[in-house]
Structure 1
Amino acid sequence: MVELSQAGDGLYKRGFAGDTFNTAWYARRLLPEEWTVSYGTCVGEDAVSSEMLDFISGEGVDVSTIRRIPDRTVGLYMISLENGERSFSYWRGQSAAKLMADDLGWLDGILKGREMIHFSGITLAILPPKQREAFCGALSRARSKGAIVSFDTNLRPRLWESPEAMRAGLTMGARTADIVLPSFDEEEELFGDASPMETIERYRNGGADMVAVKQGGAALHLWQREAGLHEIAAETVTEVVDTTAAGDSFAAGLLAGLAQGKAPQEAAAEAMRLAAKVIQARGALVPSIFA
């Protein structure tokens, strides 16, 4: 999406970001150069869509998996910050990404042969109910053919028709995934979970092989079917500047570590360190931490 972030004095800076793209951006920097990181979505044929494609490609992420749709454009969101915490305003009415599950031949094609696929609750929230089912069906087909599927629940209540629809959609999304990445405060509010262990239990019963329950500045609860349960202490953070992309960068760190054969605890600890660096800088994408 087009991102408008505060630049001071009432001014905003335009960029391109969004939860799953943020994960792809960080993963690209964490993985070996010869590996391919692709981004699957739909954009329009207007000027800003072309600029977005140029940006994504320029950041080293493969755009051959992006479909262009006439008479559509890309979504826009504006970030407001208060004491380092973010809130969002969205404009998505003509977003081409809302048609991502309209062409299942294309969708199956871009998922075919992938070793790892990552999606989020926002991915599901922007799709109409029938298309959510179609999208999850495509993920299930890819998973049955060997892809490891990762799902960041990433709640955005205003994008859903109702709390009931959100609960149903997230549950359906989680059932398509090997790895589920929830945040406990969101799970507590939406599902009434009393502890991270309740969150783990629900997703484990839904078929996940790994669940990593994030708790902001508190310990991560990581469960993996073979390795069991581990708590991983949060990194010390001097000052929280901007929590944008904290979960997205964590997902990238965890998935990149797992893809390179690291043990779940090691990959999760490295992911925690990455997220801690990201929230001490402004914006979703922080190139300076890789300098």
Structure 2
Amino acid sequence: MKNLISVGEAMVEMSPQSLPGHFHMGFAGDTLNTAWYAIRLSPNWNVSFMTAIGRDKTSDQLVSFLADAGIDTTHVQRHDDRTIGLYMIALEKGERHFSYWRGQSAARQLAADRARLDEAFAQADLIYFSGITLAVQEGDGRENLLAAIAAARSAGCQIVFDTNLRPALWDDNEQMCDWVSKAAEVSDMILPSHDDEAVHFGDADPEATRDRYVAAGATTVVVKNGPRTIHYQHEGRQGVVQPAIVSDVVDTTAAGDSFNAGLLAAYVEGAAIPEAIRAASNVARRVIKGRGALVPIK
């Protein structure tokens, strides 16, 4: 079995239920969501989640949750003085709005130890991380993370990066774009969302987003574009895929995260990129018909 390591922040999720004022407590986070869906879609891969959490009961519950899902917890770090961040979802016509409490999240320290990163990544065949993973790091964490990823890539590991632009996590737009561009330079496959890239990088259309990341050195770029045409380039060949239209949207939380899992699951099993995109779109279509980030898909 090959090894996928998904790197990022785990959070407590409070998702609204049908009865007003009632919420369901769960666990989520962009790269955690992708790992959770990937293990269901790629049974031939060992999926690990790398994060940092506390030693409190809620952190213990997260470890049990991951293990029960079949996700390897070997690379989950424990901290005495921090715990897991929390977010709450508010829904309006299927679109989600988030409130966050993550200032002292232990995940801000997950890349503090470069040697620990190198040791973990030496076991990986594929590393998946996001712009949020990068944004929340403190101290030398961003430098450590990208240096360790670059070293793993040089050793033959494939690197997949979801840009996941979240300006509230950065000091300013320039800082965000600079670090995201640095991350793109050490990645093989990049999975941006055009709506965000247009706002923050000024891309005129999905083709501009695609071409900018190809110029950064990626061999594969798949530009998510909501319900609109998905543009891609893979090993020099360009194309478009029109996802199926969804009319009964309940909650778009984790639409992109589940899309990424569906894409990777199909791709690592040998599907051509257009077929992998269609499979990914079908996964996301099922996810946005349920509430919260993690929705049963089988």
Contact 2:37–2:258 (CA<8 Å) still a contact in 1? yes
For residues 13-32 of structure 1, what are the structure 2 equivalents within 5 Å? 13-32=24-43
Q: Does structure 1 residue 56 correspond to structure 2 residue 63?
A: no
Query: Which residue of 2 is the match for residue 234 of structure 1?
Result: 243
What is the CA-CA distance between 1:129 and the residue it aligns to?
6.2
1:222 and 1:201 mapped to 2: Cα distance? 9
Contact 1:113–1:147 (CA<8 Å) still a contact in 2? no
2:267 and 2:34 mapped to 1: Cα distance? 14
Q: Would the alpha carbon gap of residues 45 and 56 (structure 1) be closer, same or farther in structure 2, given more than 3 Å must change?
A: same
What is the CA-CA distance between 1:248 and the residue it aligns to?
0.3
Query: Which residue of 2 is the match for residue 156 of structure 1?
Result: 166
What is the CA-CA distance between 1:280 and the residue it aligns to?
1.5
1:129 and 1:199 mapped to 2: Cα distance? 30
* Larger mean Cα displacement after TM superposition, 107-116 or 211-220: 107-116
What code does the residue aligned with 1:28 have? I
1:138 and 1:6 mapped to 2: Cα distance? 38
TM-score by length of 2: 0.94
273, 284, 288: which is aligned to 1:279?
288
5+ residue gaps, structure 1, are none
* Larger mean Cα displacement after TM superposition, 18-27 or 75-84: 75-84
Contact 2:49–2:76 (CA<8 Å) still a contact in 1? yes
3-state SS of 1:36 partner: strand
Q: Deviations over 1:23-59 (max 9, x none)?
A: 0000000112x53110011111111111110111111
Query: Which residue of 2 is the match for residue 76 of structure 1?
Result: 86
Query: Which residue of 2 is the match for residue 9 of structure 1?
Result: 20
Q: CA RMSD in A?
A: 1.1
For residues 1-291 of structure 1, what are the structure 2 equivalents within 5 Å? 1-7=11-17, 8-32=19-43, 34-128=44-138, 130-226=140-236, 228-287=237-296, 289-290=297-298
What is the CA-CA distance between 1:242 and the residue it aligns to?
0.6
1:189 and 1:15 mapped to 2: Cα distance? 31
Contact 1:81–1:87 (CA<8 Å) still a contact in 2? yes
5+ residue gaps, structure 2, are 1-10
TM-score by length of 1: 0.96
Query: Which residue of 1 is the match for residue 8 of structure 2?
Result: none
2:108 and 2:138 mapped to 1: Cα distance? 8
Percent identity of equivalent pairs: 48
What code does the residue aligned with 2:245 have? T
Q: Deviations over 1:220-262 (max 9, x none)?
A: 1111124x11110111212111110110011001111111111
What is the CA-CA distance between 1:90 and the residue it aligns to?
1.0
1:204 and 1:286 mapped to 2: Cα distance? 33
**Count of aligned pairs:** 287
2:87 and 2:186 mapped to 1: Cα distance? 28
